[in-house]
Amino acid sequence: MSNVKNVVLCGVGGQGTILASKILSYALIEAGYDVKMSEIHGMSQRGGSVTTQVRYGDKVYSAIIGKGSADVLVAFEKMEALRYLDDVKADGGVVIINDHAIQSLPTLQGMAAYPEDGNDRGKEKAGDVRVIKATKIAGELGNEKAANVVLLGAAVKALGLEAMDWDAALAACVKPAFLDMNRAAFKAGLEAVGKSRKHRQSAPQTAARPGGLRLIR
């Protein structure tokens, strides 16, 4: 059985999806994992969808995560969670959703309705859904833009990778002026997973293994 793990991060342009993926990838590489990361930008500067895929393990041959293959989906926004739910494994997949809505142009213009039941629909499709108020948590720390690192912390907890050197990864990827805030945001994300709402109790326990995780897009 392959030990490669698949992580999909999805959000809206400006939410820091790519930065979170880079921090994750950096830490995994430094820990000795073979890592592949890919990015997709959908008019991100105008609030379009942005996704990154990270694959890690002893040996990763492709940077592509197929439908229904993601071990963890990290959604920075509720509608984006719905958009990418089909990427998650039906058996054993974990979905982390930021309980935050960003209205698209069609919804702002009244041409479409924002799906308010996004969290519930996510729970119907995935085995383990954790809803976290990452934007609110980051705001309480001083800057809502740090929600991406709150969600990164939550993902690290779900993947069982807490033992890696995340402080070094943050220092390597985040500007010094924002480092302390992002350290606090990461710690808050680790703690938020235990307080989040779960759909089922059958979440897999994913332990970090030497040479294990890779970034994939």
Q: What is the Cα–Cα distance from 84 to 104, expressed in whole angstroms?
A: 17
Is position 69 within any domain? Answer: yes
Domain that holds residue 101: 5-204
Give the model's pLDDT for residue 102.
72
Give Cα separations from 45 to 50, 104, 211 (angstroms): 10, 13, 35
What pLDDT digit, counting tens, does each position of 145-161 carry?
999 999 999 999 999 99
Task: Enter the pTM of the model.
Answer: 0.82
Low-confidence ranges of the chain (pLDDT < 50): 1, 44, 197, 199-217
**The domain spanning residue 77 has which CATH number?**
3.40.920.10
Is position 137 within any domain? Answer: yes
Is position 80 within any domain? Answer: yes
Is position 209 within any domain? Answer: no
Give the model's pLDDT for residue 193.
81
Give the model's pLDDT for residue 13.
87
Give the model's pLDDT for residue 71.
95
Given the structure tokens 């997709």, which residue do they identify?
40
Is position 210 within any domain? Answer: no
Is position 213 within any domain? Answer: no
Give the model's pLDDT for residue 39.
86
Give the model's pLDDT for residue 40.
78
Give the model's pLDDT for residue 205.
34
Give the model's pLDDT for residue 82.
87
Q: How far is CA 138 from the centre of its chain?
A: 15
Is position 169 within any domain? Answer: yes
Is position 214 within any domain? Answer: no
Q: What is the Cα–Cα distance from 33 to 9, expressed in whole angstroms?
A: 19
Number of domains comprising the chain: 1
